[in-house]
Amino acid sequence: MTTLRSAALGPLCTTDAVHKAQATLALDLRLPVGRTERLSPSAPIPGRPARPELIAHTLLKPKPLTTVEGRALLVHSVAHIELNAIDLALDVVWRFPDLPEAFYTDWMRIAQEEAKHFMLLREHLCSLGYDYGDFPAHNGLWEMAERTQDDVLARIGIVPRTLEARGLDASPGVKNKLIGAGDHEASQILDLILEEEIGHVAAGNRWYRHLCEARGLDPAATYAQLIAQYDAPKLRPPFNMAARRRAGFDDAELAALG
């Protein structure tokens, strides 16, 4: 019988980016979850297209936003993050068994929102005369998925609550750059994405606290330990405090940002 968790492997293994997004959007959230199933992928994960070429993020150089190419490069980099976000959410669904059913439906809904984000950005990229794959990109997000593949607490503690939360911080700056370059359509897409990303980080916070409670761990002390153990990227200002507050970070967590 097809379950929601086993169905997540389909788009995760899909190599073509647009097909991956479409297959994710086509997943039926009403499938039985299969929360106790032990699954393994039958193809390498994540499935990735031949392009973009993946290079070290230090080698990625921005181009002036006064040119269409520069704007397309920026939109491409966000589209690449969204494609990775599809894989990251699907990976949570199939990999970690024995969690409440709502955990899986939350992450499947998030995967579908990421697929929508990717499609919106890719469509905009096409309107600029480019396509996904036309610029190099980095593999930093999936590397963190691999590092945290053995522990759902580490995965949820670090990926949504640290990496996706950094996306909340980065959003206003990217949006202002695009407005400055006259690309109001892209800035509207970023507004929509930010709203939904707040929900993703909120889900991360909710499930992180649930997992800590289930293991009798203190969320703050455990987070500090996870950051050190998994060498998570350092948080740097400016922070989007309003978005972080809406995403469920508490006063102590916001104060700790400085």
Residues 36-55 that bind Fe ion (CB under 5 A): none
Which of the residues 114 through 173 are near Fe ion (CB under 5 A)?
114, 117, 164
Q: How many Å apart are CA 91 and CA 206, to the nearest integer?
A: 18
CB of 42 to Fe ion, least distance (A): 26
Largest distance between two CA atoms of the chain = 53
Residue closer to Fe ion by CB (options 33, 203) is: 203
- ω into 46 cis (within 30 of 0): yes
In the list 80, 116, 175, 200, the residue contacting Fe ion (rule: CB under 5 A) is 200
For Fe ion, the closer of residues 34 and 132 by Cβ is: 132
- Residue closer to Fe ion, measured from CB, 71 or 200: 200
**From the CB of 229, what's the least distance to Fe ion, in Å?**
23
| CA–CA gap between residue 219 and residue 227 (Å, rounded) | 12
Burial of 241 (0-12, 13-18, 19+ CB in 10 A): middle
Q: Is 80 in the site for Fe ion (CB under 5 A)?
A: no
Nearer residue to Fe ion within complex by CB, 85 or 90:
85
Residue 228, C-beta contacts closer than 8 angstroms, at least 6 positions apart: none
Q: Which residues bind Fe ion (CB under 5 A)?
A: 82, 85, 114, 117, 164, 197, 200
